[in-house]
Structure 1
Amino acid sequence: MQRQAANSGSDSDPRYANIDERKRKRMISNRESARRSRMRKQKQMGDLVNEASLLQNENDRLRQNINDNTQRYVEIESANSVLRAQAMELTERLLSLNSVLQIAEEVSGLAVEIPEIPDPLLKPWQLPFPVQPIMASADMFQY
């Protein structure tokens, strides 16, 4: 019983005071460490939010760029279809005119030069018409 009484008065014992001081210092150190950890996590979260915002902006910019390019593609494809139809119509007209020239040649007996109509499907890289210069302007590449 005397030991228990001695232990209960540990505040006056220098050994126990030293242990309490170490506990208090450890507790303060742990709190400071936890505070630094929370601050580090908060900074990481802020950095990730900023990065997500930047990536979202980049994604929106790329999506708009894709939409613009798709719109231009549709416009060019439409114009290309019109040009193909016009080329087919002109080819048919030329065939008709060539047949008229052949008839005129047969009837008159005179030699008439009838131009040959090249098939663009056989050699698509060779243009059937003389190449004309294409004029470029500075604003044609501003998209």
Structure 2
Amino acid sequence: MLSAIPAFDHFQGNPFTGLDYGFTPWDGPGSDSLGFNSSSPNPVTSSSGSDDPNPTHAAASHESNDVALFFMEERKRRRMKSNRESARRSRMRKQRHLDNLRNQVNQFRVENRELGNGLQFLHHHFNRLQTQNESLRSQRTLLRQKLAYINQFLLFQQLQPFSTACPCNIVITE
């Protein structure tokens, strides 16, 4: 066996500090005849990266997981903040749109009222003009009748001088 390894000089420095006492770690108590330690406190297992027996690698992996988790949470917070801001802008746009629609409704109501008043005025004016037109037509008819009577009277006046010169009972024979 290789149980006796000479110790190195302390001035030169021993790079194997575990070997200063003249025995190897596999020569200690609990080692079998081949020199393997049967009571190994750390069993050898395959590692997939999550159950790494190396504590420095596990700490680094844990730290990288923490950093990745931090960045994911930070990204999630930024996304949530962005979504809240987008929703707020959307609500503001919707509110502006509703306000514009309400203003348009009010303007259309005012315009409709004004048009209704104008229509009422025109209808009243039309009725008044129609009444006046009927009155003028009836006056025209009366004036035509008067004119016809006057024309008959004048014609009768013009024919009267001839009627005195000519006897009415003259019989014309042929």
TM-score, with length taken from structure 1: 0.68
Equivalent residues of 1:10, 1:17 under 8 A apart: no
Q: Deviations over 1:14-42 (max 9, x none)?
A: 33233222211111110110010010001
Q: Deviations over 1:93-117 (max 9, x none)?
A: 111111111111111118xxxxxxx
Q: What does residue 92 of structure 1 align with?
A: 134
Gaps of 5+ in 2: 1-41, 153-174
The separation in 2 between residues aligned to 1:18 and 1:35, in whole angstroms, is 25
Q: What does residue 103 of structure 2 align with?
A: 61
Q: What does residue 2 of structure 1 align with?
A: 43
Q: What does residue 139 of structure 1 align with?
A: none
The separation in 1 between residues aligned to 2:113 and 2:146, in whole angstroms, is 50
The separation in 1 between residues aligned to 2:57 and 2:97, in whole angstroms, is 60
Q: Which of 40, 44, 52 is matched with 2:86 structurally? A: 44
Gaps of 5+ in 1: 111-143
Percent of pairs with identical residues: 8
**Displacement, 1:73?**
1.1
Cα separation, partners in 2 of 1:67 and 1:93, compared to 1, 3 Å: same
SS of the residue corresponding to residue 18 of structure 1 reads helix
Equivalent residues of 1:10, 1:16 under 8 A apart: yes
Alignment of 1:1-143 (within 5 A): 2-4=43-45, 10=53, 12=55, 14-109=56-151
Cα separation, partners in 2 of 1:9 and 1:38, compared to 1, 3 Å: closer
TM-score, with length taken from structure 2: 0.56
Q: Deviations over 1:28-77 (max 9, x none)?
A: 11011001001000100110111111111111110000100110111111
Cα separation, partners in 2 of 1:91 and 1:15, compared to 1, 3 Å: same
Q: Which amino acid aligns with 1:87?
A: L
Q: Which has the larger radius of gyration?
A: 2
Higher relative contact order (CA 8 A, sep 6+): 1
The separation in 1 between residues aligned to 2:150 and 2:61, in whole angstroms, is 129
Name the one with the larger helix percent: 1
